[in-house]
Chain A
Amino acid sequence: MKTVNQKAWFLVLPVLLLVGFSAVIPLMTVVNYSVQDTFGNNVFYWVGLEWFEEILHSERMHNALGRQVIFTTVIMLIEIPLGIFISLHMPKKGVWASVCLVLIALPLLIPWNVVGTIWQIFGRIDIGLLGHSLNALGIDYNYVQNATAAWITIIIMDVWHWTSLVVLLCYAGLQAIPDAYYQAAKIDQASRWNVFRYIELPKMMGVLLIASLLRFMDSFMIYTEPFVLTGGGPGNVTTFLSIDLVKMAIGQFDLGPAAAFSLIYFLTILLISWVFYTIMTNIDKREGM
């Protein structure tokens, strides 16, 4: 099918140079820092894998990682099923389909810090609709001081922000199912559940994997929204990996540990994403038959 042509490298060259510049050089810096220590004045000396050992055994990293895993698991468990559910109820065509699409896509195009700001305001007990109403109902809700409230707010915010992505992906997957399948199901007297189980879900498998991959990656890297909303607090309860890393690297300027942290962090994401990617290409191949 494809022809072998080594000259194709010339077409890839610009990308290579650009991404090389903006990914490889910084990454080298990180690697460099991760194996050195300094007494200031730009004098560095070799420390080997000490920083990695320190980070791997640091409680701070473990806690941040634990929070991160819980957060990612929870939001995926909510967003993926909810996204599927909503997409099944989207109007299939007509004006309403367009209107719904535009409104649903809206949260995706709001700058992430503004998402934080929106929920910061919305959740406040003095001026926010959510915080004010909950407290008026006698529920003690204050995300600035209460850890549970902070977690719930961040999770609802993420669901608000990102479920739309899952909805749009699933919707596109559903749109690609030919009408004949639904007609055949009707003729076979399949129940609504069976239509979902045997037609819609198998046909959505591809997009669902992509949605899961994206949600995994992006939620694992989440920084801006919780940074604006809670700043990682109260205390450290919403300090996820990225927030912790930025604190360490730019706040405290602990270059060595931050660099080691960075590499472990990156490799973790890479590893899990690679598993997703492998499953995905296998499915692609199977469908290609």
Chain B
Amino acid sequence: MKNVMSNKFVIALYTLPALLLILLLIYVPITLSGYYGLMDWDGIGEMKFIGLENYVTLIQDKMFWTSTWHSFLLAIFSTASLLLYLAISLVLASKIKGSDLLRKIYLIPMLLSSVAIAQLWMKIFDPTNGMANKLLEMFGVENTPIWLADPAIALYAIFIPVIWQYAGFYILIYYAALKNVPDEVIEAAKIDGASPLQIAFKIKLPLISGVFKVTIMLAVVGSLKYFDLIYVMTGGGPNGASEVMASYMYKEAFKLNNFGYGSAIGFGLLVICLVMTWITSKLTKSKDDVQY
């Protein structure tokens, strides 16, 4: 049996096309980008080799560490939100009435492009006409917040749409995973007299733990390199209050003519992602993955 499943030719045939694609289109460019990180280059004129100077600057750059901290916070909130999405998926997958329709509705925002989501939330957060403050006023709040304009809360305000945006994504994955749990297993548990909660915690959750771990990884890495809505909605402002790593990198490379330095930030982002992924995988490691 080992022989068929360790056929070198088949392995190469199955993995090489994809591997070549990512090596060529992701690894080669990022290596080049790391090389630009060694340059003093505005992205327009001549490059000048300056060794590790950009990276030294990076380590001492307060703004970089502030934006890293912001990205890190986003990663924590995103990961925490997974529990909510998991709970929703458990309910949806439990065959309650209307779950089919609800599931479809829940996933709809996921279809919207960032352009639309940004517009929607900018209108919700509008300090005078926006829905958020209109609601607060209804409850008698007088000094309504100015949301994206307040450096103290802009970051947290913008986390709301960012995290909400991915609700559909995770619910979809969890739902598919839960639907994958064979009915026989659940039936058997019911015959043994397990309650729905017991079934959820003792059977379903352990069975999808592999998928859950993957989503934690996706949430952590996805948050650390997150860019879209923050760039459109606050541009990292006011005055850097909502800057995250990717928006900082974009700003330096594409707006401020520091392409070399921007590349170095991109490389720093990658290293931080690697470290965080390693920590996450240590934290979520269990001896063996459960199979059906």
On whether the two chains bind one another, the answer is no
